[in-house]
Structure 1
Amino acid sequence: MKSNAIKKFFSKTEGYILLIVIVYCIIVAAVNPNFMTPGNFLDLIRSSSWYWILGFGVLLVLLSGGIDVSYTAIAICSGYVSACVIQRTGIENLAFAFFIAILIGLWFGAINGFLIHYFRLPTLIATLGTKTIFIGIMAALVGVEAINTDHLPAVFKDFGLAKLFTVPTETGAEYGLSVFFIPLVILGILTWFILYRTQIGRSVVALGNSEVSAERAGYNLFKTRMFIYMYVGALAAVAGVIAISDVAWIAPLSSTMIRGTELTIIAALIIGGVKLTGGEGTVFASIIGLLLVRLFETTLIFLGLTSSWQNFFTGLVFVASLSVTSLQRARKRRRMLLFEE
């Protein structure tokens, strides 16, 4: 029975992507033994925390059958405005920083949900537009001047350097688990709970499977859409604060580490097994898909390759994942037809 459960798991997309992650780590470690160190894995968790948090929000959008490309703009705006408010008021408090950021994230998310529901705009088109609008609102009300490390509020820098624990090395250096791990775990569990233990979570999946059927089942689709995009906005705000704290600077109009990751994160979730057309996907799928992409981004140097190869490997796994998923569905349809006969 246990072997059947294992076989069933590895027959799913999440299962074979996990196998790819394991095999890839073994290959990298064989080529460069310096890769398999606790410090590298803890650093991967620190630098990837905001990716995963964004991914949890995007998961709900994909499950509902939508595509949101404005969430990185929300992350940038929320984090930047939060830093500016603290800089100008002198209130050096981490909870206050998150409070300001989340308020902005909820507001922007509500705008997305309202436009998509009442104007029946395609989600991709709507969020492409609001992505620019949000940056414009920030520029008009707050400004867009870069905040470098010297001028970034201390609360951000302290948060970025804080560790849950540290372990000294033989060279005298230290490695440790970043406090970013706490919001990552909390939001991962919260997302899982919402999707599998609440009515609003069931309505998200129902909407992705069929809007007409979801409406007939009695789900309030306005409430569902508003929740989805406000949740994405709130998580994007948290990710924005974490990302700024991690690098200790922000230039909202330049190419930062947040800008341009929209499609990469969406692709990573699809690689992990989240269905692009909605109705199918798990929190674990988003974690494992993003883990694989982040491994490609951070470990190519250990293989002696340049970062330009990252897009190649990500695209290769993306196409392979979609192909295998398509073959699995075709095989499932054939079995159903044979059963009906």
Structure 2
Amino acid sequence: MRPQRLFRQNELYLFFVLVAFSAILTIINPSFLTFENLFDLIYSGAGTAILAIGVFIVLLSGGIDVSFTAIAIAGQYVSVHVLIASGIDNIYLAFLISCSLGIALGAINALLISIFELNTLITTLGTLNVFHGALLSFVGTKAINVGQIPDSYKEFGSIDIINIMRSDGTSYGLSIYALIVLGIAVMTWLILRFTMLGRGIYAIGGNREAAKRAGFNIVGIQFFIYCYVGFLAGIMGVLAVSIIRYSNPLYIVGEELNVIAAVVLGGARITGGSGSIIGTLMGVAMIIILQKNLVLMGLSSYWHQFFIGLIIIGGVSITYYQNKLRGRKSLAYLKQ
């Protein structure tokens, strides 16, 4: 499937499902389709969206990364510790520390996967535990509460790019996180759409050996992919502290499948070579809306994990069916 196409059939189907699901929720609860609720969904889903864009790049290349949560946790926890210890209360320094650590940890993944050619899932499953275990062993295990968090995190988390007044004089707004997610999404799309690096990512996901014969630098591309995932995880780590206003080394542990499910739901093929940024963002929207409205639909919140499992199984099944169908077509062509 060509990377040049921005809006594919799968994304069109997902868009209609998203609209229909939103319409049903609006009928159940008229306050669902309001600016205040939509702004809240964007605010709470920004971190997931950023991680999903990174996971999308990995899946696109034919790999699977599950270590991104450990990288995000390390970035947020270490950056908070450094700012407190140094007495420097600066959000830009927090981003620099978190993203630099994220890139370094991503480079470790890249080294193991590209140089030693290890399986991506097994490798990142291992580094997930190594990164998180090292953080707990050498940095700490105690959560840092709201009173200890540097003010720059809290101030950054309260920045709105649009403010709307309520009738009672209070206000709500669209968080700056929306702008950050949009910027990352556009930057990633431009890389995939207009650069040889982006074409190489699609090529590796489609057929690694063919990409190598075509002259693509497989090692260099994979280093970019996993360092980019680390960079995005570092950004998410800082945003997470700004949202929840405390730093916990156990935060988002176990959230890997939620993010992967969002990307698969958005149309990314598990075996690589197919997917889009817009589909990924719609997949995230669907997961976040489902997660926050299960109770409204009369279902227990535990059903969320059930639906996540179905989405992943469905994504793998569709990929298997597509590959089988493609194999039959190739066989029929050879017999002609």
What TM-score do you get using the length of structure 2 for normalisation? 0.91
Tell me which of 205, 222, 227 is aligned to 1:225.
Answer: 222
Tell me what 2:98 maps to.
101
Q: Does the Cα contact within 8 Å between 1:192 and 1:283 map onto a contact in 2?
A: yes
Partner of 1:5: none
Q: What is the correspondence of 1:29-44 to structure 2 with a 5 Å cutoff?
A: 29-44=26-41
The equivalent residue for 2:253 is 259
Go from structure 1 to structure 2 and tell me whether the alpha carbon gap of 1:162 and 1:123 turns closer, same or farther (over 3 Å shift): same
Which residues in structure 2 correspond to 1:106-185 (within 5 Å)?
106-185=103-182
**Aligned-partner residue type, residue 284 of structure 2:** L
* Shift, 1:139, TM fit: 3.3
Query: For 1:145 and 1:95, how far apart are their aligned partners in 2?
Result: 24
Aligned residues of 2:269 and 2:319 also touching (Cα < 8 A): no
1:294 corresponding residue in structure 2: 288
- 1:129-149 CA distance string (max 9 Å, x none): 111221233234432321111
Describe the shift of the 1:22–1:322 C-alpha distance in structure 2 as closer, same or farther (beyond 3 A): farther
Q: CA deviation at 1:287?
A: 0.6
Cα drift, residue 83 of structure 1: 0.8
Q: Show the counterpart of 2:42.
A: 45
Q: Specify the code of the residue in structure 2 equivalent to 1:134.
A: F
- Answering whether residue 9 of structure 2 is matched by residue 15 of structure 1, we say no
In structure 2, what is the equivalent of residue 309 of structure 1? 303
What's 1:210 paired with? 207
Shift of residue 328 of structure 1? Answer: 6.8
CA contact (8 A) 1:50 1:242 kept: yes
**What is the distance in 2 between the residues matched to 1:186 and 1:100?**
20
Q: For residues 9 and 81 of structure 1, do their structure 2 counterparts lie closer, same or farther at Cα, with a shift above 3 Å needed?
A: closer
Query: How far did 1:299 drift?
Result: 1.5
Counterpart AA for 1:280: S
* 2:269 and 2:315 in contact (8 A); partners too: no
Indicate whether 1:281 and 2:275 are aligned: yes
**Contact 1:10/1:16 (CA < 8 Å) preserved in 2?**
no
SS at match of 1:164: strand
Q: What are the superposed Cα offsets for residues 27-81 of structure 1, whole Å, 9 maximum, x if unpaired?
A: 1111121212211100000011111111111111101111101000000001111
**SS at structure 2 position matched to 1:307:** coil
| Separation in 2, partners of 1:63, 1:37 | 34
**CA–CA separation in structure 1 for the residues paired with 2:219 and 2:48:** 28
- Given residue 263 of structure 1, which amino acid in structure 2 is its aligned partner? L
* Alignment check: 8 A CA contact 2:295 2:301 kept: yes
Q: Counterparts of 1:234-253 in structure 2 under 5 Å?
A: 234-252=231-249
Shift of residue 111 of structure 1? 0.5
Contact 1:13–1:325, Cα closer than 8 Å, also in 2: no
Distance 2:6 2:150 in 1: 46
Shift of 1:12: 1.7
CA contact (8 A) 1:32 1:303 kept: no
Q: Are the equivalent residues in 1 in contact too, given 2:69–2:255 (CA < 8 A)?
A: yes
| Partner in structure 2 of residue 61 of structure 1 | 58
The whole-number CA distance in structure 2 between the counterparts of 1:135 and 1:327 is: 36
Distance of aligned partners of 1:312 and 1:133 in 2 relative to their CA distance in 1, 3 Å threshold:
closer
1:133 aligns to what SS in structure 2?
A: helix
Alignment partners' CA distance in 2, 1:231 and 1:282:
17
Note the alpha carbon deviations across 1:2-40, whole angstroms, 9 max, x for none: xxxxxx999722111111111111111111212122111
Distance 1:338 1:117 in 2: 36
Q: CA deviation at 1:202?
A: 1.0
CA distance in 2, matches of 1:218, 1:331: 29
Distance, in Å, in 1 between the alignment partners of 2:194 and 2:141 is 41
Percent identity between the two aligned chains: 39
Distance change in 2, residues 1:66/1:259 (3 Å) = same
Alignment length (residue pairs): 331
Shift of 1:118: 1.8
Counterparts of 2:330 and 2:167, CA distance in 1: 60
- Alpha-carbon distance between aligned partners in 2 of 1:322 and 1:212, rounded to the nearest angstrom: 23
Q: Secondary structure at 1:301's aligned position in 2?
A: coil
CA contact (8 A) 2:71 2:234 kept: yes
Name structure 2 gaps, 5 residues minimum.
none
- Alignment RMSD (CA, Å): 2.3
Change beyond 3 A, Cα 1:34–1:148: same
